[in-house]
Structure formats: C-alpha cells, structure tokens
Amino acid sequence: MSSSPLSKKRRLSGTETKTGSHCSSSNSVRTDLSYTPANGMAKNGNDAEIDEGLYSRQLYVLGHEAMRRMQNSNVLISGMRGLGVEIAKNVILGGVKSVTVHDEGLAEWRDLSSQFYLREEDLGKNRAQVSQPRLAELNNYVPVDAYTGALTQDFLTKFQVVVLTNSTLDEQTALGDFCHSKGINFIVADTRGLFGQLFCDFGDKMTVFDTNGEQPLSAMISMITKDNPGVVTCLDEARHGFESGDYVTFTEVQGMSELNGCKPVEIKVLGPYTFSICDTSGFTDYVRGGIVSQVKMSKTIRFKSFSSSLAEPEFVMTDFGKFDHPGQLHLAFQALHVFQKKHSRLPAPWSQTDGDELLTLAKGVNSTQTGSVKVEKLDEALIKKFSFVSPGDLVPMAAFIGGQAAQEVMKAITGKFMPVRQWLYFDALECLAEEEGATLTEEQCAPRNCRYDGQIAVFGTEMQEKLAKQRYFLVGAGAIGCELLKNFAMIGLASGEGEVIVTDMDTIEKSNLNRQFLFRPSDVTKMKSDTAAAAVKQMNPSIRITSHQNRVGPETEKVYDDDFFESLDGVANALDNVDARMYMDRRCVYYRKPLLESGTLGTKGNVQVVIPFLTESYSSSQDPPEKSIPICTLKNFPNAIEHTLQWARDEFEGLFKQPPENAMQYLCDPTKFMERTVKLPGAQPAEVLEAVYKSLVTDCPRSWEDCVSWARNHWQCQYSNNIRQLLHNFSPDQVTSSGAPFWSGPKRCPHPLKFSTNNELHMDYVIAAANLYAQTYGLQGSTDRAKVIKILEEVKVPEFTPRSGVKIHVSDQELQNSNPSVDDSRLEELQGQLASTETSEFKLCPIEFEKDDDTNFHMDFIVAASNLRAENYDIPPADRHKSKLIAGKIIPAIATTTAAVVGLVGMELYKIVQGHKKIESYKNGFMNLALPFFAFSEPIAAPKHKYYEIDWTLWDRFEVTGMLPNGEEMTLKEFLAYFKNEHKLEITMLSQGVSMLYSFFMPAAKLKDRLEIPMTEIVTKVSKKKLGKHVKALVFELCCNDDTDEDVEVPYVRYTIR
C-alpha cells in the first residue's frame, strides 16, 4: 500500500550538524538538526551529492541535473496560513538548499482549519515561528528559517524564488516588479474558500530544458529514402510515437552513415510508422538497420512582470467546462483586494450586503480595464458566491493550489517542465448545495472561535456536524494515505461520533520520507498506519482514528465483514496496485458505499469518484494490460536495455529464489513434492527435478571458494558459451529463406565475452553472484576482491564446443508449437538419485528480491548481469539508478502531485458528505503538472441493462432471504421456483464464485439429488469450504431465460442466510 510493495528496514543515524545561515536578521529563527545520512553524504550546496536512498522516487521524476539545481536554491515563502505551509512542506520535501518562511501575523482560530502545523495552544503566536521547527523536521538536508520582519528589497535579493501567499495587491505589485527587475523568480498563490489563484513570473528569459517530462522515444528503422525530404520508415512492431516538430538523431544506420550522430533533425510525422526528415538526396544509399532517437530540445520563454501581466493576462485553463471563469475571477480577486483595503477585513461569510458591495467593486475594476482583461458582462452570481465564501480557508483547496505552486517553484529553479503562463484560476463551486438558489445565512457561517471556523465560513455548522459523524475506511497509509489523513484531520472528519479506520501492512522505509510527510527518520521500520494515525492526532486531537495492519482481500473478510462495511459512510483508496483497487471496488459496489479513488505517476495524477446508483465503478473501465516482452526476445534476441534487465531479474529468480524454494519443499515432504512435480506440463517435471538435484548434489557448495567457482562458471555459461552456441546455430552472415539477413531489424547479432579479473564489471558479477549463492546455503560471503581474484586463478573452467542439433526457437509461436518430449527414463533416474541423497543437514534460504537495500548484492547482481548481456548484444548499458527503476518496477513519485491530487479528493468528499444527488455535481479529474494540463469531467453514469421492462445497473441485485417462514432454509428446487414465480425467469445456470451449483445440462441423477438440498449445503459441498460465522449472505451469479426462451442478462443475487 506504500509507493513500493517491497520493504526495506534501514535506520538513519548521525552527528553532522548543519551550519551557516543566509539569513542573519534578528527577526529570524532556525532549528539546527544534526544528521549524517547513512551514505556519508555531503550537505546541500555546489558540491553536494544526492541521497538516492531518500530522493529515489523523486529522482525518477526530476532527474539528477534538476535535483542539483534545486540544491543550490534558496526559497522564500511568505504567509504561513494553510496555503503557505502546504507550499513550504512540498518544497522542503523536494530538497532545495534552504527555505525561509515569513509571516508578520499571529495565529488565529480560522487558521486552524487548514494550517496543519498550528495547534490550539499556538493561538496568538507568530505563525512563521511556530511552523518553522515543525517544517524543519520534514527534511534534514534543508535548513528552515523563520523571518518575522518586513519584506525589504534588500532581504529579497538573498533568494532565487520568492512566493507570496496571503498578501495584498500592493505588495504583489511592488515586490513582483522588483523581483522581475532583479531576475528573481516570483510566484503569487492565494486561496479564498472554494477559489484558488496562482501567478508565475520567471523572468525575461527562462530556459525550459524538458517541456513535458516524458522519456525520449526511440524506434528501429526499416527504410530511409534518398529524397528531399527523406522519408524514414520504422519497423512495424510498434508505432514510433513521435509528433511533428520533434527532433531526432540516428545511430547504427548502415549505408546512409551521414545520419549517424548527426545534429538533431526536426521531423514531420507522415503516419504511425513514417516521418520525413532533412534532404537526404545527396547521402549514401541506405542499406539496413539503424535506431532513431528523440532528442529533448530546450525552449526559451519570456514572462511579463506582475503589473504588466495583471493588465494583459494569459490564462491556463483548469476546467474547460468553465471557459469564462478565469477572466471573471481575475477581476473578482482584484475587487477583493480593493474591499480589504477599504474595510481592513474580508467580506463576512454569506453576507448579502458585502456580496453586493464586492459586485459593485468588481464592476468598477472592470470599467477601468482596457484590452483583453475587460469582460463584456460580469457573471454576477459567480462574483457574489466568490464574496460569500472568500473568508473561508479550506485544506483541500490549499492542498490543490499548494501542490501546484510548489511544482512551479521547482520549475523556476530547474527549468524542468513547462511553467504556468502566467495566471491560473480554479474553483470548486460544485461543493456547495445543489439546489438552485440555495444559500446559507450569515448566522450559520459566522465564526465560532473553533478550529473549523475557516470551513464553517463556507459550508455552515450543519455540515461540520455531519463531518464529525462520518465513519470512513482508508486503505493505505503511503503517500496518498498520509495526505488524505492530514486533510481528514483538518476538516474534522470523524471528530465527533465518527471514526476513521486506516489499514496498511507496510513498514516505513527511508525512500518513503521524501513524500510520505507524516513520517520522520526515527520512524523507519515502524508500521505506517500506527505512525500516520499518531501524527494526525497531533494535528487535530479530536479525530477518532484506529490503525490496522491488515492487507485487504478475501483473507481478511472475517475482519472487514458485513457489519464492518455496513457501518461505513464511505471508503477512500490509497493503494499502489490495480488488484487491491479492484477488490475494494467490488466490496464498495456490493455494500453500496461511495469510493474515492486516486493515483499518481510522477507529475500525472487522477481522481475518480464512485457513487452508488449514480456512477460506473472503478472496475467498469480498465487500462489495457502492459505489453509483455516475448520469451524468445528475452532468451536470445534482446534489442533494448529493458530486455536485458528483465532477463537479469528472471536470472535472479531462477538462481536464488526458485531452486532453494523447490529444494526445501522437496526436503520437507519428498512424496508430495514428487506427486505435484510429475503433473507439471511438458518438460517441466524433468527441469524442476534437475534443478533440485543440482541444488542438493552437483552444485551444492561446501565453502566460499565453491561459491566463487560456481559464479565464475555460470558467467562463462551465460556470456560466452550460450552466445557461441547461438552463433553456431545462426552464424553472423546467415540469411532467411527470403534471402534477407537473419541478424537484422530487431535481431542484433551478439558476440561472446572473454572473462578478465581486470574487468570491473566481470568482477562485480562474480562477487554479487557468489555472495547471493553463499546466502542461499547459509555460507559466509566476502567482498575482498584481491582474495576473490586469488580464488579465481585456481578455478577450472571446462572447455566448450558448440554442439549441432541444439534447437533454438526464433519466435514465441515456434516455441508454443514445439512439443518437448518427456524423457521418462531420465525422470526415473532423477527420482532415484534424489531418493538416495543424504539431505538431513540441509537448510536452503530462498532470496526475495529487494531493490532498495544497497548492501544486499541484489541490485549489484542485476546491474552486472544486465550490462554484461547488453555488452553481448552491443546495447548501451544502464547505470544503477536507471536499472533500479526498470528492474524494480518503481513508480516515479513526487510530493507536489500527491498533494494536488488529494486536494481534489477532498473536494469530492465534501459533496459525498452533503449527499449530492446529481452526477454533474461530481468531478473525475486528471492532471499533468509538467505540462501543465488539467481535465475534469462528470463521472460516467452506471451503464443500464434491461430484462422485460425492468432497467438495472451494476448497483442493483435480487435480494433473496434464504430462511423460509417455516424456519427451514430454501432448497435448490425452491430457489429455482422462486425465480420462475416471482420474476418469470428460468435459471439455466447458477454459480457461487468458481463453484457451479446448478446447470440445465447437469446429469439427471445428480440434479435429482441436488434439488432437495438446502442452498448453503450445496455451496459447502461443491466448494469444499465451510461457511465462516461472519458470512451473512452469499452472492450467486445467474444465467436466465425469459418467458420467450431467450437469454437475458440479469443482476446478481444476494442470498441472505443470517
């Protein structure tokens, strides 16, 4: 349920003290934290290394170069209300050189609705000073200062980025224009109730090095014409994926060698497999081969200053369904500043008088405008709603705008991704009551001097009481889970009679700390759910929260049973895999509970809301399955580093996990193991027994020297002998039946390697493989290279001669069509040899692959094994960082996206709690902060089906009570008759799970017996499983005919037994 399903248990410790401050004002404070990273890393600064253990998931989003730029940047964030602290949190987690938080104001009640680092005892204290030590704990690499003085021009020159929140228009104009003149990146962010605003100015000349954050594409070439322009055709294995305007370069082209290593060429796409390039008419004739690779080109962007852009704004659209809102809100925010300046306060919540005045001010602002900013007609209803909720302060809105603003800080520093140009407005008015013209009163929304004042200002007290009574199940306490819990605590969810139940079976790892912000270095190895629950209790002591460590699935249905689900108001998923998401989706459909579903991938994020009887469910639509690599490509014909890395992962499993597992199963119960093994298809029985015999007899090491010898011989086999055999079968100049070269297109001709103790990579492989092999047998390993070289000098490597008659499959189709024969005599021989082996002393330990521990040899082996195979096939190698991403199937992640996505989830939660009934009130959202791009749509309605004149959706079912009035349970005969009489449906097939209970083609004798048996008895008899005491009802699936004998699709049956 964390961002990584694999668990790494490693503590952080240390003594290094961070010193030096760029802020010497008497108004500033700092907490010094002592910390030495586990790898002895340097502090942030020019020569800083990057702690890959901490930043690994973020590095896959930003890259090392961008991270280095961040480590040289000082950031000022002004305004420590909810939005300011959210931005600061995300920027600090990101890993800049330093952060200074600024505020001249004191904490008040309304701040507590969104400022998660303020507590009730902090009321009356300076917000920056209180927040600073709590923010400083987020990342020991980032010094955090608090500054409480005025923002002078001299002070601002210390920073590369200045962010203003909770500021006046006069401050924004003066400081914005000053920053523009000095080349300081400038951001304004603001939230007012259900409205958000973001402005960016990154100077006259900003260079964006990567405009979209996507990995550069590459494709294999089948033809290039000599023409003006030349046309490139790619192999039709997969579409090239390029777009017109992209730049590409070429390698490995035979014939038209002028293209190899050429400067990037702009292309024009002609079709899914073709595109045109430059004039190739004067080049040499194309012969064959070649790889075309996309090149990321930098782009220079010019920003206007704040005052210029205020008068002539450019807008980023956040919701295409509200096309006119940005222009209207641009004026509304300016009118709000005028109102504040005039009255020294915000409009009162839901005050009609103040709303009318703000509308008049907005009209005045509009009348003074010239050019594109002036609107023909003000949307009076929108402006008044803006006034009504503007004193509100909501944590979901702060999270959404704060996540984006922090990403813009990173863009300004790094040039990574396309910035917001230059204004972004967002509103979530759908969160308000659905009824046309529904308004709250000033009394309902007036401040109560309580921590929810900022939220009551928008939704009133009744909504606050509803929130307090909610009972929610949160599945997962990783990155999304932490953000959700923070939002739950701040909005007062389950702060009264309700309860939040959070479950996660994972422990905290170092790599989690970069975005799972409720955890600290001292929490590493503790349970996520317990730690997260305790952390949000600190934020709001009123939240009633219970933490579990259970995996959700059929095995925990005794815990999460009918009573549990029926008591819930809703479920929020914070999961990292599709199977668990689909399981929870099925449970929510069955129990008819709302589900909040969300996910992130780097800078991309999505939110889906599932509402009973209204929307489709999460499982209603699925992404296509990931394309798997063909077996023959992996075994013999790799052409990309992904292929060699997958091969290395398969090697790891096939050497250090499966053989010890099989051997231990054999040792525990030889008879059962043999029975199971001989039933395996094809040649598998012999292969498995051969591997067990090798593990226990022929390849069983007695010493470290034996392990080194095994590793050296395995190296020889994989990187020399097998390649020589392949080249014996298919020589480098081999041609196919059509006369084309065999080694062409996706087939790269390999060459064998020659082992050398002077070759670092060869030695890396032997040391990693020998240590892993030693671990499986409980032997002591070693990393002493000199000693290993000494051992290697004594190792005997048998001579190898390629053999004729060895079958190597060229395609997966050929492999499937082959029917490997089982050598029964060899099988019997192996069984006999194993039976006579003395095995009582053995205890083998299978090794589970763990990518995040740099001391366990796992990634050492993967990197060496993959890069050696890449060298065999002349494929460019991958460094450890890239290898870990691919082999470890790591999901790139960054705190900014998580915060923004969970902000949107919070908006949907408001609607669910209020009981919104219209599908158009809800919003599914998708965002990509790198572009930046946002898309919102109403959820898809649950598809309707029909039998007779009855419409039904996935939310409907037949309710059947199993116990009859006479106190006896319904038999199968009575069940069939019930559907015939009550619903005019003839059941032709009836199943429960994978068990077939009845079918029209069942043998007559079997059917006769079964018809008189009660339903639950049939279920236990057929499934061979007892029904647990927690099971209140069973689910039956039906196939039915109507009264015209036609097949009809019908809902499932909920058969109640208790």
- Using CA atoms, how far apart are residues 405 and 423, in angstroms rounded to an integer? 11
Tokens 């021989």 label which residue?
A: 829
- Residue 531 · residue 502 · CB < 8 Å: no
d(C-alpha 100, C-alpha 147), whole Å: 7
Burial class (CB in 10 A: 0-12, 13-18, 19+), 745: middle
At 448, which amino acid appears?
Answer: R
Under 8 Å between Cβ of 112 and 451: yes
Residue reference for tokens 């938080």:
101
Told to judge if 632 belongs to the known catalytic residues of this protein, a careful annotator would answer yes
Distance CA 673, CA 832 (A): 14
The CA-to-CA distance between both ends of the chain, in Å, stands at 33
Angle CA 466–470–471, to nearest 5: 170
Q: Which of 807, 813, 863, 817 is CA-nearest to residue 647?
A: 863
User: What is the rounded distance in angstroms from the CA atom of residue 890 to the CA atom of residue 219?
Assistant: 24
- Following DSSP, what letter does each residue of 321-350 receive, concatenated? GGTTHHHHHHHHHHHHHHHHHHHSSPPPTT
Please answer whether residues 55 and 3 qualify as being in contact, where contact means their C-beta atoms are separated by less than 8 angstroms: no
Encoded amino acid at 545, one letter = I
232 with 277: CB under 8 angstroms? yes
Nearest partner of 924 among 906, 944, 939, 942, judged by Cα = 939
Residue 120 to residue 109: CA distance in whole angstroms: 8
* 318: nearest Cα among 895, 917, 911, 904: 904
CA-to-CA distance for 850 and 859, rounded, in angstroms?
8
- Separation between Cα atoms, residue 825 and residue 22, nearest integer Å: 80
The set of residues, in sequence order, having a beta carbon less than 8 Å from that of 365 and lying 6+ positions away, is 331, 334, 335, 338
Single out the catalytic residue among 278, 632, 717, 1039: 632
**Cβ count within 10 A of residue 1039:** 16
In the numeric block, the tokens 């060699």 are attached to 644
- Residue 959: strand pairing partners: 1054
Write down the residue that tokens 């959404």 correspond to.
Answer: 400
Q: How far apart are CA 444 and CA 407, in angstroms?
A: 37
SS3 content of the chain, % helix, strand, coil (to 5): 40, 15, 40
Residue with tokens 């480098």, as numbered in its chain? 732
Confirm if 112 and 96 have CB atoms less than 8 A apart.
no
Are the CB atoms for 502 and 474 separated by under 8 Å?
yes
CB atoms closer than 10 angstroms to residue 227: 13
CA atoms 1047, 1048, 1052, 1056: torsion sign: negative
Report phi then psi at 388, rounded to 5: -60, -40
Question: Hey, which residues are catalytic here?
Answer: 632
